[in-house]
Structure 1
Amino acid sequence: MDPQFGRLYLVGTPIGNLEDITLRALRILGEVELVVAEDTRRASSLMSALELKRKEIISFNMHNQSRRIPILLGRLKNGEKIALVSDAGMPVISDPGATLVRICRENGIEVDVIPGPSAVTTAVALSGFPGANFTFLGFLPRGKNRRRLFRRISTGTFEESLIVFFESPYRLLETLRDLLETLGDRDIFVAREMTKKFQESLNGKISEIIAHFASSEPVGELTVVVSGRSGENARDA
């Protein structure tokens, strides 16, 4: 690593409750010259809520990352410190950033991580499902691609692990119906708005959760944990 170069920080931020920010994250966000975020408005709101001094914030997403990376690389080589944040939780997990991290390492630029909350591990802990293994799918594809993915899970080598994914409230019922048809009526856990004021945790069979949301429209950010087929709480599919 060239000591003249700056450093890229991957900074975990709260998934809901601002009190979950770490002391180190506060310090780093206060020290860097630039904050890179998928949504600049959310990042700006976060910085304001944390009472951090105003920083330069630029967008970094799947559509502009090929244009942004050379710019960021140049600034890092000029000695600047840059923080990469996601909308919530740990950056790079289901967010752009992996290519930037790889290119930084290839160019001798140090990459550091400031761990923070993760919706994935938080939901797994809250679910109470047994087993140390889980498969994280991120945001699911739509339609036939989603059903194809579930079929692979049902016949693949990881069907006995927990399945964790994020889902939009607008597609949740459709996704749960595909799950029921493909995996059977397993136990499931749905976490809504975790750590926020109106957080909700729901446990039950897939069919029961479908019935719940059929009569009460889901809203907010959703993380779903599906029990493994051989789990103590799971019924054979």
Structure 2
Amino acid sequence: MSKLYVVPTPIGNLGDMTNRAVETLNSCDLILAEDTRHTQKLLNYFNIKTKMISYHKFNEKQRSEEIIHKLLNEDINAALVTDAGTPCISDPGYELVREVREKGIEVIGLTGASALTTALSISGIETYEFAFYGFLPRKKSELDTALKRVLNNPVKTFVFYESPKRIISLIENIKIHMPNSTLCVCKELTKIHEKTFYGSVDDVLEQLNNYSDVEKGEYVIVGYNNDYQEKDDTDNQLSLHAILFDKLFKNEYSLKEAVNEAALEGIASKNEAYKASLEIKKIIEKLR
């Protein structure tokens, strides 16, 4: 029976490649790589000769169909890799894994490098529970909405990914929405020039502004939201109903439009807004 292996690769230090990962890539019939040129360097280093094809966000649908057909009909094993770290974590792959599972094909995961867990482990910030958001939107209005969601999330530890050109802008925006947050900003994890910036949002912003190579390398931001305020569930539920009613009648929205906008504005999760909308629907039907 065919199998799909999800294989982590190093995020910077080749010494983090596990023996099992090398053995798996060697023994598989096909490697699915986000960037074949990048992965070829890794394969050359470990003398891996397995056939490789591209699998990335621009050809994900087409490739998924091809790969599933091969797994179902040719009795082969395939390995999914990303440019760095664990596939499917803020990278392409989850759609393939889902479809493969739905076809009854076995999926096997390997442990290995992950920028997410590496940053959490060295952050000094509570990790009993955390919310991972990947890369936040670039557009200012969408970024503000996303940060409001983070602010209102009762899970106070948050993790973002960010590029070097936007790191200072992101920290400045975190300061606007969560001025009392504690941050650990990790740069170039596991690489020669690895560096961390830790402290209050003001301290970290000052450290980054004084760092000459701030616009080089990739960043992981681990933070703790000290600005979160517990809300009374009853009051919150009443205000959510009022907000939805307001959107329905003032803006002449449908219930679906009101729910979507409330979720985008960070007023409530989509699930909470949807539940409230069902209650509103019942009230409206009674009034008719």
| Alpha-carbon contact 2:159-2:222 (below 8 Å) kept | yes
| Alpha-carbon contact 2:6-2:80 (below 8 Å) kept | yes
Which residue identity does 2:182 align to in structure 1? D
Which residue identity does 1:140 align to in structure 2? L
| Alpha-carbon contact 2:35-2:83 (below 8 Å) kept | yes
- Aligned with residue 84 of structure 1, among 80, 83, 99: 80
Matches within 5 A, 1:30-179: 30-52=26-48, 54-77=49-72, 78-142=74-138, 143-158=140-155, 161-179=156-174
Which residue identity does 1:179 align to in structure 2? I
Which residue identity does 2:85 align to in structure 1? G
- Aligned with residue 213 of structure 1, among 208, 211, 215: 208
Q: Which residue of 2 aligns with 1:10?
A: 6
Cα deviation 1:36-65 (Å, max 9, x = unaligned): 11111111111112222x232221112111
Q: Percent identity?
A: 35
Gaps in structure 1 of 5+ consecutive residues: 232-237
SS at match of 2:165: coil
Distance 1:196 1:131 in 2: 23
Q: Which has the larger radius of gyration?
A: 2
CA shift at 1:69, angstroms? 0.8
Q: Which residue of 1 aligns with 2:249?
A: none
CA shift at 1:174, angstroms? 1.0
Q: Which residue of 2 aligns with 1:223?
A: 220
Alignment of 1:197 onto 2:186: no
Q: Which residue of 2 aligns with 1:185?
A: 180
Task: Work out which structure has the larger RCO, using CA pairs closer than 8 Å and 6 or more positions apart in sequence.
Answer: 1
SS at match of 1:220: coil
Cα deviation 1:208-231 (Å, max 9, x = unaligned): 222222232331111110123289
Deviates more, 1:214-223 or 1:164-173: 214-223
CA shift at 1:79, angstroms? 1.0
Q: Which residue of 1 aligns with 2:256?
A: none
Distance 2:42 2:218 in 1: 17
Deviates more, 1:213-222 or 1:164-173: 213-222
CA shift at 1:185, angstroms? 3.4
Distance 2:227 2:128 in 1: 13
CA shift at 1:131, angstroms? 4.3
Distance 1:27 1:156 in 2: 42
Give the structure with the larger strand fraction.
Answer: 1
CA shift at 1:173, angstroms? 1.0
CA shift at 1:68, angstroms? 0.5
SS at match of 1:171: helix
| Alpha-carbon contact 2:180-2:225 (below 8 Å) kept | no
Which residue identity does 2:112 align to in structure 1? G
Gaps in structure 2 of 5+ consecutive residues: 229-288
Distance 1:131 1:28 in 2: 31
SS at match of 1:133: coil
Distance 1:149 1:9 in 2: 33
| Alpha-carbon contact 2:6-2:109 (below 8 Å) kept | yes
The verdict on how the C-alpha distance between 1:133 and 1:230 changes in structure 2, with shifts beyond 3 A counting, is farther
